[in-house]
Chains A and B, each alone.
Chain A
């Protein structure tokens, strides 16, 4: 670096962490304790590698959710043993694409689907059935079409290194789905039975998961209210169905896998007393136009802010994590707490449990605000910012456009990024490279 180098404000922002490191190396710093502490921490980190343990520490429990309480007049439940199967004939099969470029996300679907009807007048949940993928037929007054009486889930099936198919913590998705059903006036169901039906569907369409060790199948269970009446009331009829989609990579990112965000406080995704913490379709429709706006401004995702203090809540459709040096000079991983505005992500829960078990740095659930982010960035204490979700496990953030300013986050500049370690550990579990109770084999 020469003094004659053209200094650009943008360059400084982008390279501030590099600048700091360079200055530290060449000039002795007599103050600014937190920087020194960070350097020490950094050195410590590089000597002792994280230990990846396969066992689940009882202190942090396996995170098994509480069983759901069904309505008194729900009727009877469905059982996987009642499953009837109608296999697709050869003419009904869909051709498999040649490569990932044609795949995108959720554009192509497999040959079969799972359908389970609920009719209160017929006693409750009906017999589950697996049929070839076909259109749904419903009355134009169906509640889902008018009042968005709909909820869904997102999970993945992975082909492990031994060729067997695995799903990741399905019990968590089932619980989350039932909680959303209760809020929507839709019938609840037995999660374990549904997972068994899902396993059968996956074994039929298992060839839709490539035989590589980096491929997955996206599972989309959906519950809709189909009661053909216009009253805004609980649906007496519902349909629980699941479709599967082979996936390539979710995001088409620009620079080396990191994403850029639009943080505009005028758009609010969720509010106290609302359903921000439930995976309902009605939460997502209003975000589409905002996403379009972000894309128009050359940004890839939306960073959802809330409140006067511009709290960071979620990134696009993912939870957000921040890894920084706190006021005590120690490294800390923080994510917003489940206050009702945040979707309780399963990846989020897994990361919290896993990193707490590691015990290498402090892990906390606390509110993060934009002013806080800016301050940390200025002091060079912000290390990494990343989203966490099923689609891509972790998604590092390298730029936020906030109030007309571009903030450059050094997520990708870290030597041993925590987000990569998290991604590697989680994918090792998901692909069966490590034997772990979170990864359920279904075959």
Chain B
């Protein structure tokens, strides 16, 4: 007898759409035995090669919810987003997740945090650094910034729809005229108030965007400044754009009201078309829900959070890069310009070398920091140690090797 396994409904949907059999417990006497698990797997594999599109669900059957996260910890919220993406069944239930974080910098999946911010400085100032799962550029979050994640099944992913919900909400609530530019940013009077990123998988997808309501622009500017050096990196680079807070456009804008405005706009609009159904439509939905992203309510979320907050993920996933910084060495009346070059792989300093003048050669530098994690403090530490070197010693070294 095969037993209905502990599968969530989105995994079940995936199985069903690929033509696999969902084994169910049937009565022992009389009614037909379900096919043996081995047969079911074979069928699933065969059908997967010619995957049928999932059945079209009419708009009237799709109900919407707005989830509001009770947590302001960026790792917890990223874990919640991930949990919903992996475990929830959105086929008849679209969800908008609204969340806000304590001050932090969030970089894209394939970005290099050291080219986006001064990581050591962030640590000093108590600003968390996080890496999200979707691509795109680096952003600064604080409680004056609202994050919106639009969840839906893959086949109903619609970025334009989502962004329009936001612009409509801004107009309906505060008569703010916002536009969507070609990079899918929302701009108000030529300045960016929102950035967008997405994750498309099977069977679920999500699109998230930020909305700058009343973020601390000073901290934002200070946080997204990197250490002065030459970075040779193939990671995704951020495209800096001038930003603006909504509160600069209309003094009454605040995050609480923004949450409500975007939420109601989401609920009153039809599921896949930008049609306003008013309160009659809202009445048919599932409404607002507070979400407490703890293990008790979402088993498995602690593991996800542990991953998001681990060094291996935040720093370790940095694509390999090289950082070069010039350094002047003083001697008897003559100065020498050297270049320190550090190769960083997986967030660890692999090769630390010194480029001598008039030479392409890289002289390896012996330091206990070899193989240790890279950050700006360590880099400046090496530079500081090297500055004590006398120029004549370097000359000797050059002549010696020449």
How far does the alpha carbon of A85 sit from the alpha carbon of B6 in the complex, in Å? 34
- B283 A54 Cβ-Cβ under 8 A: no
Chain A positions 56-107 with a Cβ under 8 Å from a chain B Cβ: 84-91, 93-100
Partner-binding segment picked from A17-25, A159-167, A304-312? A159-167
Residues in B with CB closer than 8 Å to A84 are 283
Determine the residue in chain A with the shortest Cβ distance to B263.
A90
B288: contacting residue among A51, A87, A443, CB under 8 A? A87
A203: contacting residue among B6, B30, B63, CB under 8 A? B63
- A432 B4 Cβ-Cβ under 8 A: yes
**CB of A372 within 8 A of chain B?**
no
CB within 8 Å: A-B pair count: 110
Determine the residue in chain A with the shortest Cβ distance to B290.
A93
A87: contacting residue among B27, B70, B283, CB under 8 A? B283
Q: How far is the CB of A441 from chain B (nearest CB, A)?
A: 11
Interface string of A171-210 (1 = CB under 8 A from B): 0000000000000000000000000000000011111101
- B288 A88 Cβ-Cβ under 8 A: yes
- A98 B4 Cβ-Cβ under 8 A: no
**CB of B395 within 8 A of chain A?**
no
How far does the alpha carbon of A85 sit from the alpha carbon of B294 in the complex, in Å? 29
- A434 B25 Cβ-Cβ under 8 A: yes
Q: How far is the CB of B344 from chain A (nearest CB, A)?
A: 39
How far does the alpha carbon of A54 sit from the alpha carbon of B282 in the complex, in Å? 39
Residues in B with CB closer than 8 Å to A206 are 286
Interface string of B249-292 (1 = CB under 8 A from A): 00000001001100100010000000000000011111111111
How far does the alpha carbon of A133 sit from the alpha carbon of B264 in the complex, in Å? 19
- A204 B287 Cβ-Cβ under 8 A: yes
How far does the alpha carbon of A96 sit from the alpha carbon of B288 in the complex, in Å? 13
Residues in A with CB closer than 8 Å to B291 are 96, 207
Q: How far is the CB of A131 from chain B (nearest CB, A)?
A: 11
Residues in A with CB closer than 8 Å to B332 are none
- A111 B289 Cβ-Cβ under 8 A: yes
B290: contacting residue among A51, A53, A94, A163, CB under 8 A? A94
Chain A positions 106-155 with a Cβ under 8 Å from a chain B Cβ: 111-112
Chain A positions 183-241 with a Cβ under 8 Å from a chain B Cβ: 203-208, 210-213
Q: How far is the CB of A51 from chain B (nearest CB, A)?
A: 6
Determine the residue in chain B with the shortest Cβ distance to A212.
B299
Q: When A84-B283, A93-B68 are in contact, do A161 and B6 touch as well, CB less than 8 Å? A: yes
B12: contacting residue among A94, A98, A100, A162, CB under 8 A? A162
Determine the residue in chain B with the shortest Cβ distance to A103.
B296
How far does the alpha carbon of A94 sit from the alpha carbon of B290 in the complex, in Å? 7
**CB of A420 within 8 A of chain B?**
no
Q: When A88-B288, A111-B289, A211-B298 are in contact, do A162 and B7 touch as well, CB less than 8 Å? A: yes
B70: contacting residue among A85, A96, A434, CB under 8 A? A96
**CB of B398 within 8 A of chain A?**
no
How far does the alpha carbon of A86 sit from the alpha carbon of B288 in the complex, in Å? 11
**CB of A433 within 8 A of chain B?**
yes
**CB of B31 within 8 A of chain A?**
yes
How far does the alpha carbon of A96 sit from the alpha carbon of B289 in the complex, in Å? 10
How far does the alpha carbon of A95 sit from the alpha carbon of B263 in the complex, in Å? 17
- B299 A55 Cβ-Cβ under 8 A: no
**CB of B49 within 8 A of chain A?**
no
- A54 B288 Cβ-Cβ under 8 A: no
**CB of A435 within 8 A of chain B?**
yes
How far does the alpha carbon of A53 sit from the alpha carbon of B63 in the complex, in Å? 35
Q: When A85-B284, A90-B260, A435-B24 are in contact, do A161 and B292 touch as well, CB less than 8 Å? A: no
- A95 B285 Cβ-Cβ under 8 A: no
How far does the alpha carbon of A434 sit from the alpha carbon of B3 in the complex, in Å? 8
Q: When A90-B68, A207-B67, A432-B4 are in contact, do A95 and B298 touch as well, CB less than 8 Å? A: no
Chain B positions 84-102 with a Cβ under 8 Å from a chain A Cβ: 87-89, 92
A100: contacting residue among B6, B66, B282, B296, CB under 8 A? B296
Q: Can you list the 8 inter-chain pairs with the closest CB atoms, starting with the nearest?
A: A55-B27, A87-B287, A96-B292, A207-B289, A210-B297, A85-B283, A163-B9, A93-B290
Apart from A87-B283, A88-B288, A89-B288, 20 more pairs, CB < 8 Å: A55-B30, A85-B284, A93-B68, A93-B290, A95-B70, A96-B291, A96-B292, A96-B297, A98-B296, A161-B4, A204-B286, A205-B289, A207-B65, A207-B291, A210-B299, A211-B297, A212-B299, A433-B3, A434-B25, A435-B24
CB<8 Å pairs between A and B, sample of 19: A51-B28, A84-B283, A89-B288, A90-B260, A90-B263, A93-B288, A95-B70, A99-B294, A99-B296, A161-B4, A162-B4, A164-B9, A203-B63, A203-B286, A205-B289, A208-B289, A210-B298, A211-B87, A433-B4
